[in-house]
Structure 1
């Protein structure tokens, strides 16, 4: 008789996301992740070689979801929509937003080795996001213009979201107004596209 695995890799990834989102990276120890799932620690090690591997898998999943949401408006030259997508994505996925936007991948894995396939997937996602942003900025943007656009699309929206993510409360509607207001000068992107 074939014995089916009771605990999937996805269960451990979801538990790691929740633990980091709720209490920070130090809360996502191997025993805590296993306990969250209700699994023996050995079950987790059967699917992941290390804590860094399960956290990297969690990062790849959440960052991949984030990238998939943000890339279309970036490639389409819609800066305001990209910034608002970041807010909407965070509002719809508060646990994932706290996991991704309040942490840094390097600090999350704390310099521990990450399996090559996961490192390659995360690098691929970052490359897609970078290419989408460069497409939005256009080839003729100066470094200062590109930095200003990155601030409006990424940095300022994350700063507006941060206190609400830290406080674990709902993201209030005024955040939409703050983020949308970054584009009220009538220029959606550096090319002067309509908002």
Structure 2
């Protein structure tokens, strides 16, 4: 008779994200992750060789989910909608959002980097996301993605919205409804591409 595993890899990844979200990177030890799942410590080592492997797989899972939520809008040339898509993603993935958006990989992997296959998988995700981002900037301009345009787009789509959300992600719980208005107003007040004028002015 085949014995079914009680604990899946996803169980350990979810536990790792929860621990980092609640207590920072140092909270996610192998013992703490296993304890959070309710599994013996040996069980986690059947699936992951090291703490960096668990955190690397968790980071890739959270990042892939984030990319999947925003990339379609970026590829369609809709920067404001891409920025606003961060809100429902955070609402549906609170644990992943706090894990991904409140921490830097350097803090997660200061002891040792993730295994090479996980690093390569993350590089592929980053390349996919960067291609979608650059396609959006190109579509919104004159076909050339200049350094200033890329900097503006990063601020409007990622850095600005995440800075607005950060205090509420730290606090936890539902995001207040006005953060969406703030992100929309950010886009209304600043053009994605230099020299185009604001979207509000262009529509007037």
* TM-score (normalizing by structure 2): 0.89
Determine if the alignment matches structure 1 residue 94 to structure 2 residue 97. no
Look up the SS of the partner of 2:17 in the other structure.
helix
* TM-score (normalizing by structure 1): 0.92
Determine if the alignment matches structure 1 residue 174 to structure 2 residue 142. no
Whether the 8 Å CA contact 1:20–1:28 is kept in 2: the answer is: yes
Match in the other structure for 2:193: 190
Offset from partner CA, 1:104-146 (integer Å, 9 cap, x none): 1222122413222211111111111111111111141321121
Whether the 8 Å CA contact 1:152–1:182 is kept in 2: the answer is: yes
Determine if the alignment matches structure 1 residue 20 to structure 2 residue 20. yes
Look up the SS of the partner of 1:47 in the other structure.
coil
Match in the other structure for 1:76: 76
Consecutive unaligned residues of structure 1, counting only runs of 5 or more, are none
Q: How does 1:136-151 map to 2 (within 5 A)?
A: 136-138=136-138, 139-151=143-155
The whole-number CA distance in structure 1 between the counterparts of 2:144 and 2:111 is: 37
Measure how far apart 1:185 and its partner are: 4.4
Whether the 8 Å CA contact 1:87–1:157 is kept in 2: the answer is: no
Measure how far apart 1:91 and its partner are: 2.2
Measure how far apart 1:190 and its partner are: 3.0
Whether the 8 Å CA contact 2:16–2:54 is kept in 1: the answer is: yes
Look up the SS of the partner of 1:5 in the other structure.
coil
The whole-number CA distance in structure 2 between the counterparts of 1:111 and 1:22 is: 20
Offset from partner CA, 1:55-83 (integer Å, 9 cap, x none): 11111111000001110101111010000
Whether the 8 Å CA contact 2:152–2:193 is kept in 1: the answer is: no
